[in-house]
Structure 1
């Protein structure tokens, strides 16, 4: 990259307007000639392309990692939801077996629970349910 580096001579065709713009820049900058300007421009552009490839690779890698993490979380939550559903089903069966509740009362309870879960956004609070059943609230 210094003055003693091996150089290869080649010719290129460039728009005349672009050459004039380059010459104007050369006259008003520290670049000595067209060769130096083209070398600098080529180094800069190749560095840009290399960085762009690295950025694309990093974005793809990050996307893969994020997808895997989200999938693992979804699987963990699904397994946990399944276990909770099994426990809730067992509890419901025991309560249904041990209590004689008529169908109308069960429908009213369902509607009350549906409204309550919507109101509290699913954050069930046993103490509040206990106080409600004991008519403390």
Structure 2
């Protein structure tokens, strides 16, 4: 790279610190030290801008990912509701359940789902219906 000669002012104390750090910085001159220090500081300032850009980009990507997941879950829940509705209609058509028994079943199922936090298992319902009242 082509170098140009420029004059600038520097605090005496700062120049003393530069001289003391020349061996640690592994440079041969004040000039080389100042060039490295400027490159480092420019990189630091640039990285702040890049960091802000990256944070904005990552936030945008995360928002889109969450939105996509919400859409997929909503579609899956819709399909599940359709299947549940079909099963309900088939069972209601094929079994004569009176309104009183249906009301008791509703209350029992609501209590059960609350108690087991929605983790319904067919096996447990089967055992209950067979008389193994756990």
Whether TM exceeds 0.5 here: the answer is yes
Choose from 96, 99, 103 the match for 1:102: 99
**Match for residue 118 of structure 1 among 114, 117, 123:** 114
| CA RMSD across the alignment | 2.9
Q: What SS is found at the alignment partner of 1:71?
A: helix
State the partner residue of 1:18: 14
Task: State the secondary structure of the residue aligned to 2:106.
Answer: helix
Retained in 1: the 8 A contact 2:27–2:33? yes
- Residue 84 of structure 2 corresponds to residue 92 of structure 1: no
* 2: CA distance, partners of 1:102 / 1:73: 39
- How many residue pairs get matched? 132
Tell me whether 1:7 sits opposite 2:3 in the alignment. Answer: yes
Question: SS of the residue aligned with 2:71?
Answer: helix
Does the C-alpha gap of structure 1 residues 113 and 28 become closer, same or farther in structure 2, counting only changes over 3 Å? closer
> Residues 50-89 of structure 1, C-alpha deviation per residue, up to 9 Å, x if partnerless?
5555555444444433333322221111011112112223
Q: Residues 15 and 110 (structure 1 numbering): CA distance in 2 closer, same or farther, change over 3 Å?
A: farther
- Structure 2's unaligned 5+ residue stretches are none
Distance 1:128-1:55 versus aligned 2 partners, 3 A rule = same
Correspondence for 2:42? 46
Structure 1 residues 129 and 21 mapped into 2: Cα distance closer, same or farther (>3 Å)? same
Whole-angstrom distance in 1 between the partners of 2:13 and 2:110: 73
For the residues of structure 2 that align with 1:29 and 1:96, how far apart are their CA atoms? 83
2:91 and 2:60 map into 1 onto residues whose CA distance is: 46
What corresponds to 2:30 in structure 1? Answer: 34
